[in-house]
């Protein structure tokens, strides 16, 4: 009966997990839906006295905020996947543990029934009462083995029961964290959609010529930053070559050029910034964290002067963007919504630091 109850509980956990995980995965993979026409997100339209450069800065700020929220979304998704897998593992351990406990109890019961059939006289008493020396000597070893087996059985039974209680408690804790991450994902998803929609609304109010000029302003700003970075001597003395794995990561990223940026995407048809870098290194046989913030936090850091192709450059004070360094002062990255995977100057954005996945 206990075994059936535990099996039923475990199946319930797994089934509930399936129901919970489905919308999370769907939210992760689906493209951003267009904002409802009846309730557009708040965004200040470009007033006549506002310069196009001011509009560009506002759009850039909105996309930066969306990038930060995207990293939080991706991190919550990664944690939710791990917790889902852990809940399934614990559910299986509960079922297996209950089955083992039932088996141990059956064995203990069989020993008790055997003693009852023998008149309730313990084996030790029978041994003392025997008047056959040969039987006495041969039975001593069997008695000691039997005592040890009984002691081991009872000890294992107690340990299995303790383990079962721990598994059940851990499963509940993981379930609570999974639900908290699910709520966090929903919250950050809304933030991302709001910021992106606001930026797109600002840009959509521009005439075609203004949008082209906006793109040129964006390029000019990046070119100025890149020129200043190169002029600082940041690349002086850098001459390292890519490792075999780094070359594979670069080859993968190069093959993705021209594919669109989509928040939360990690290929094959679209990418966000850390989706591109994590998949590039996965293709080289090295798993790295999914988000740019986790890549910055967990991967080995190196000085810019020691940088080599294949390394990851982390950008902005909040580590909200990442690009794959390909040498000659350039990166491949997925810039933002509305842009495609492209080659850019490594110094075209504010560099926070450099990490090396295969160090």
Kindly list the catalytic residues. 273, 321, 333
Q: CB atoms < 10 A from the CB of 320, how many?
A: 24
CA separation, residue 105 to residues 10, 98, 144, 154, 185 (Å): 21, 10, 21, 9, 45
- Residues paired with residue 302 on neighbouring β-strands, in sequence order: 354
Q: CB atoms < 10 A from the CB of 180, how many?
A: 14
CA separation, residue 318 to residues 164, 222, 289 (Å): 42, 19, 16
Rounded CA-CA distance 55/66 in Å is: 17
C-alpha dihedral over 320, 323, 324, 326, to 10 degrees?
A: -150
């Amino acid at each position: 009966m206990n075994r059936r109850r535990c099996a039923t509980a475990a199946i319930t956990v797994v089934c509930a997990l399936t129901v919970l995980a489905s919308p999370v995965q769907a939210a992760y993979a689906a493209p951003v839906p267009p904002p409802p026409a009846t309730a557009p997100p708040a965004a200040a339209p470009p007033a006549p006295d506002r310069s196009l450069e001011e509009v560009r800065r506002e759009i850039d700020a909105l996309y930066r905020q969306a990038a930060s929220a995207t990293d939080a979304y991706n991190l919550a998704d990664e944690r939710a996947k791990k917790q889902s897998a852990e809940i399934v593992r614990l559910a299986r351990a509960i079922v297996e543990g209950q089955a083992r406990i039932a088996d141990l109890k059956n064995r203990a019961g069989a020993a008790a029934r055997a003693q009852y059939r023998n008149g309730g006289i313990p084996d030790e008493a029978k041994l003392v009462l025997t008047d056959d020396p040969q039987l006495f000597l041969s039975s001593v070893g069997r008695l000691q083995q039997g005592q040890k087996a009984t002691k081991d059985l009872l000890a294992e039974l107690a340990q299995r029961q303790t383990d079962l209680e721990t598994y059940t408690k851990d499963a509940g804790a993981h379930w609570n964290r999974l639900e908290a991450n699910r709520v966090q994902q929903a919250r950050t998803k809304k933030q991302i959609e709001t910021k992106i929609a606001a930026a797109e609304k600002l840009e959509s109010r521009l005439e075609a010529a203004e949008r082209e000029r906006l793109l040129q302003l964006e390029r000019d700003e990046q070119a100025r930053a890149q020129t200043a970075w190169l002029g600082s001597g940041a690349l002086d003395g850098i001459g390292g070559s890519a490792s075999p794995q780094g070359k594979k990561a670069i080859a993968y990223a190069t093959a993705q050029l021209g594919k669109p940026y989509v928040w939360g995407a990690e290929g094959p048809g679209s990418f966000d910034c850390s989706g591109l870098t994590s998949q590039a290194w996965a293709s080289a046989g090295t798993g790295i964290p999914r988000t740019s913030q986790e890549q910055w936090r967990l991967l080995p850091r190196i000085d810019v002067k020691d940088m080599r192709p294949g390394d990851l450059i982390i950008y902005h004070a909040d580590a909200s963007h990442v690009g794959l360094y390909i040498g000659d002062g350039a990166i491949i990255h997925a810039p933002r919504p509305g842009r495609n995977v492209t080659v850019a100057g490594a110094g075209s954005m504010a560099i926070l630091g450099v990490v090396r996945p295969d160090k």
